[in-house]
Amino acid sequence: MIEIKNLRKSFGNNEVLRGVNRTIEDGITLVIIRRSGCGKSVLLKHIIGLLTPDEGEVLIEGKDITKMSKKEIYELRKRFGFLFQGAALFDSMDVEENIGLALTENTEMKKAEIAGIVAEKLEMVGLPDIQNMKPSDLSGGMKKRVSLARSLATDPEYILYDEPTTGLDPVMSDQIDDLIKELGDKLKVTSIVVTHDIFSVYDVADMVAMMHEGQIYFLGTPKELTETKDQLIRDFLNRTDKRI
């Protein structure tokens, strides 16, 4: 499991995380919501050691990442997949090279073996036979899927999604949500989805955490979120989902 204990982080005079506490059980999909700039993505970066907290701990299966050496953090990251908000594909590489990069850099696999894994992961995200295409040839939705395939290439135990539907039309957003849900159910990975898209909550979440003023303000199921009488939460939901 992942345990976050009293996590605090400031940038200058801006205190972004103000004592975040949360245990994320294995195998669930946790969706973290709130408006942009509230610290959701900062929290994700702490979980994989891209940022160091001012105070607090991040425990991955009991081991505190904040006290690990760079080498230990590097090894730990091999167990994570990360879908970046902007897909973060390398323009100079084709799709196969992008997806297989971690395997090329970190394993002794032969090229043919890596090619087989790339083909398998592209099939999983519904994009077979595009290995030779360049990122510039792909639509926004296709880039997200390729990035997702890349995050799956190492068979991670944890997948972190940073705004996976940002910039996509509603149809493509639904398709990405369906993929996140399907992968969570099929692969039994632990998933953390950071989003301001309330529709993703209904589509993929087992549990929902709402951040406010640098802390976790609400934690519950999507049904509990929908039924809450808390005015702060109601105001957020009413601005983002006219179905409620």
Beta strand pairing call for 63-64 and 190-195:
unpaired
Tally of residues, the chain: 244
Beta strand pairing call for 55-60 and 63-64:
antiparallel
Separation in Å, CA 15 to CA 7, 92, 178, 212, 219: 11, 38, 35, 12, 21
Structure tokens at 76: 């730990």
Cα separation, 121 vs 37, in Å, equals 32
Superfamily for domain range 2-240 = P-loop containing nucleotide triphosphate hydrolases (3.40.50.300)
Cα separation, 46 vs 66, in Å, equals 8
| The pLDDT value given to residue 191 | 92
Backbone phi and psi for residue 38, each to the nearest 5 degrees, phi listed first? -95, 0
Q: Give yes or no for a contact between 44 and 92, defined as CB atoms under 8 angstroms apart.
A: no
Q: At 151, which helix (H) or strand (E)?
A: helix 140-152
Q: Give yes or no for a contact between 1 and 63, defined as CB atoms under 8 angstroms apart.
A: no
| The pLDDT value given to residue 240 | 61
- Give per-10-residue mean pLDDT for the chain (244 aa): 92 90 91 74 88 93 90 88 82 93 88 94 90 91 89 90 83 85 86 86 90 89 92 81 43
Cα separation, 6 vs 21, in Å, equals 5
| The pLDDT value given to residue 38 | 62
Cα separation, 189 vs 28, in Å, equals 7
